[in-house]
Amino acid sequence: MLLELKDIRKTFGGVTALRSGNLSVKPGEVHLLMGENGAGKSTLMKIVAGMYQPDGGEIRWNGQPVQFANPAQAASAGIAMVHQESLLFPHLTVAENIYLGRTGSGPFVSRRQMLDNARKLIEDQRFPLQADWLVSKLSPAGKQMVEICRAVSLGSSLLIFDEPTSSLSESETREVFRIVKNLRDRGMGVIYITHRLEELRTVGDHVTVLRDGATVHSSPLAELDTQGLIRHMVGREVAALYSRTPVPPGEPLLVIENLCRKPLLQNINLTVRAGEIVGMAGLVGAGRTELCRAIFGVDQRDSGSIAVCGQPVKASEPREAVQSGVALITEDRQKTGLATQLSIACNVTMANLDSISSYGTLDLKREKTMTSGYQEKLRIKMNAPTQLAGRLSGGNQQKVVISKWLATGAKVFLFDEPTRGIDVGAKVEVFQVMDELARNGAAILMVSSELPEIQQVADRIVVMRQGRISGELPGGASQEDIMRLAVFETESGRMPGEDEGTIQ
């Protein structure tokens, strides 16, 4: 065995993150690590990578018991982790990031030599990168490739990916799969965390499932079907699948006319009525997020009009959008959704302080009740409302962001990739919340790259392509029909972006 974890335990303050983490990885194996939000996956891997110290249990590396006091020790033993939130230095080049901390001494006499080595490494991996590009200019996939190059250059024999594809496009995801298979074929061990059930069988050999901090299952992937996997993850049959209860659409609550914003958005016309859930499909880069931002007033529009609940919105700033009743649940919770340094309760109530204050003072009891309400509704795994939001697991952070906007009592909800990083069980809960909002008269626009989700949830499907609305389909339309509207077929028959250096 390359890596063996036995009975690993870890608590943070009063919170038990791991009760009994067990996992064994062989060389040349892609090992999937699955489990609900807050199950302890990231914590277990951070222990392996030397970022946290376990409270108990044993780590064996190549058969020997080890303890890593810090990430550098784990790295020199041959363990590297590719984090979802990139830890690279944006203002340095690709080559500098790959060889960070190893220049000026050791193997490199000159900068030129460093560049040459980086070039060779990138070529070996067949990555569409240049050694002298600035990392700040790279897409999320490009940044991951730099981290992979760094891991390979360090001679790592185990590479850990924590949800690598949750913010990637289709073609970037395929690229990550190719890389993972390539690493495995060269005899490296790979541990791979994901919530996307449909991608598992493409990459995985073995699967380990964590539930509430303990390993509850481990087997070759072929021995476990998807239902069995879900059962292990959530500890119950997930029979209660989401079902939409459509209501007759009411008044138009969001009306967009001829909206333009250079360089991308062109003549957008869209109406969403009370009670409707409109799904918005399209390839990454088609302008869906840009449209949400323009509606919310984060980005200025060049021309066109937006009306919410019958009132025109100048949308010069998000505050105006919020006051007129718009909520935006962003796709990037770390950057734009969550105040990681504030408590969970502050995050939930911050967009709606009026409702919990009287005469200028906050009613903390009310704040707490409100937070507990959402905790129950969305099953947020947390210790206390006073806990720092940044300390929650990735998926639970997303649920806090959703709660924040639910608490505003908005009438128009823009959900941009709402289920990103959320586990199978919680997805159903998020959809149920949308259904309830719609039944209570809200208008919902949901952007999603997961076609099955759009098919399941939307009453109507609007498709964007290259900054325009390319068509509209009824809810439940086939994936082929949606893709046809989403993809601009070039003469060569290739999908755009496939061959044109989407990395930089």
Ligand X SMILES: Nc1ncnc2c1ncn2[C@@H]1O[C@H](COP(=O)(O)OP(=O)(O)OP(=O)(O)O)[C@@H](O)[C@H]1O
Interface contacts to ligand X, rule CB under 6 A = 12, 15, 17, 35, 37-43, 381, 391-396
Q: How far is the CB of 492 from ligand X (least distance, A)?
A: 39
394 binds Mg ion (CB under 5 A): yes
Q: Is the dihedral of CA 334, 340, 342, 346 positive or negative?
A: positive
398 binds Mg ion (CB under 5 A): no
Angle between helices 226-234 and 424-439 (to 10 degrees): 80
Compute the distance between CA of residue 216 and CA of residue 19 in angstroms, rounded to an integer: 11
Q: How far is the CB of 225 from ligand X (least distance, A)?
A: 22
213 binds Mg ion (CB under 5 A): no
Q: How far is the CB of 68 from Mg ion (least distance, A)?
A: 19
Q: Which stretch binds Mg ion (CB under 5 A): 58-66, 336-344, 366-374, 394-402?
A: 394-402
Q: How far is the CB of 341 from ligand X (least distance, A)?
A: 13
Q: How far is the CB of 393 from Mg ion (least distance, A)?
A: 5
Q: Which stretch binds Mg ion (CB under 5 A): 131-139, 238-246, 390-398, 451-459?
A: 390-398
Compute the distance between CA of residue 402 and CA of residue 337 in angstroms, rounded to an integer: 9
| Closest residue to bound Mg ion by CB | 42
Residue 325: contacted member of Mg ion, ligand X, none (CB under 5 to 8 Å, by partner type): none
- Please tell me the chain's helix, strand, coil percentages from 3-state DSSP, rounded to the nearest 5: 35, 25, 40
- Looking at the Cβ atoms of 330 and 396, the one nearer to ligand X is 396
CA distances, 41 to each of 23, 48, 95, 384, 503 (Å): 11, 11, 31, 21, 29
Query: Considering CB under 5 A, how many residues would be counted as binding Mg ion?
Result: 3
Q: How far is the CB of 494 from ligand X (least distance, A)?
A: 35
Q: Among residues 9, 6, 31, 29, which one has the least CA distance to residue 19?
A: 9
Residue 275: contacted member of Mg ion, ligand X, none (CB under 5 to 8 Å, by partner type): none
Q: How far is the CB of 54 from Mg ion (least distance, A)?
A: 17
Residue 468: contacted member of ligand X, Mg ion, none (CB under 5 to 8 Å, by partner type): none
Contact 371, 421 (CB under 8 A): no
Residue 38: contacted member of Mg ion, ligand X, none (CB under 5 to 8 Å, by partner type): ligand X
Contact 62, 37 (CB under 8 A): no
Question: Which H or E run contains 306?
Answer: strand 303-308
94-115: string of b/e by CB count within 10 Å (b at 16+)? bbbbbbeeeeeeeebeeeeebb
Compute the distance between CA of residue 210 and CA of residue 480 in angstroms, rounded to an integer: 35
Q: Which stretch binds Mg ion (CB under 5 A): 226-234, 290-298, 379-387, 393-401?
A: 393-401
Q: How far is the CB of 23 from ligand X (least distance, A)?
A: 13
- Looking at the Cβ atoms of 78 and 394, the one nearer to ligand X is 394
For 478, other C-beta atoms within 10 Å of its C-beta total 11
- Looking at the Cβ atoms of 39 and 446, the one nearer to Mg ion is 39
Q: How far is the CB of 36 from ligand X (least distance, A)?
A: 7
Q: Any long-range contacts for 121-129 (C-beta under 8 Å, 24+ apart)?
A: 121/149, 121/152, 121/153, 122/94, 122/149, 124/152, 125/149, 125/152, 125/179, 125/182, 127/503, 128/501, 128/502, 128/503, 129/94, 129/503, 129/504
Q: How far is the CB of 57 from ligand X (least distance, A)?
A: 15
- Looking at the Cβ atoms of 212 and 257, the one nearer to Mg ion is 212
Could you tell me which residues come within 8 angstroms of residue 131 by beta carbon, excluding any fewer than 6 positions away? Answer: 93, 94, 95, 115, 118, 119, 122
- Looking at the Cβ atoms of 128 and 425, the one nearer to ligand X is 425
Q: Which stretch binds Mg ion (CB under 5 A): 37-45, 168-176, 269-277, 464-472?
A: 37-45
- Looking at the Cβ atoms of 224 and 382, the one nearer to ligand X is 382
- Selected from 34, 35, 39, 42, the binder of Mg ion by CB under 5 A is 42
Residue 189: contacted member of Mg ion, ligand X, none (CB under 5 to 8 Å, by partner type): none
- Looking at the Cβ atoms of 38 and 282, the one nearer to ligand X is 38
Q: Which stretch binds Mg ion (CB under 5 A): 35-43, 67-75, 257-265, 443-451?
A: 35-43
Residues paired with 306 in a beta bridge: 256, 313
Backbone angles phi, psi at 215, to 5 degrees: -75, 125
- Looking at the Cβ atoms of 393 and 449, the one nearer to Mg ion is 393
- Looking at the Cβ atoms of 46 and 465, the one nearer to ligand X is 46
Q: Among residues 36, 59, 37, which one has the least CA distance to residue 46?
A: 59
Angle between helices 140-153 and 170-185 (to 10 degrees): 10
Could you tell me which residues come within 8 angstroms of residue 109 by beta carbon, excluding any fewer than 6 positions away? Answer: none
Compute the distance between CA of residue 250 and CA of residue 131 in angstroms, rounded to an integer: 55
State both tokens at 426.
Answer: 């919680």
- Looking at the Cβ atoms of 326 and 424, the one nearer to ligand X is 424
Q: How far is the CB of 45 from Mg ion (least distance, A)?
A: 8
Instruction: Note the residues at the interface with Mg ion (CB under 5 A).
Output: 42, 393-394
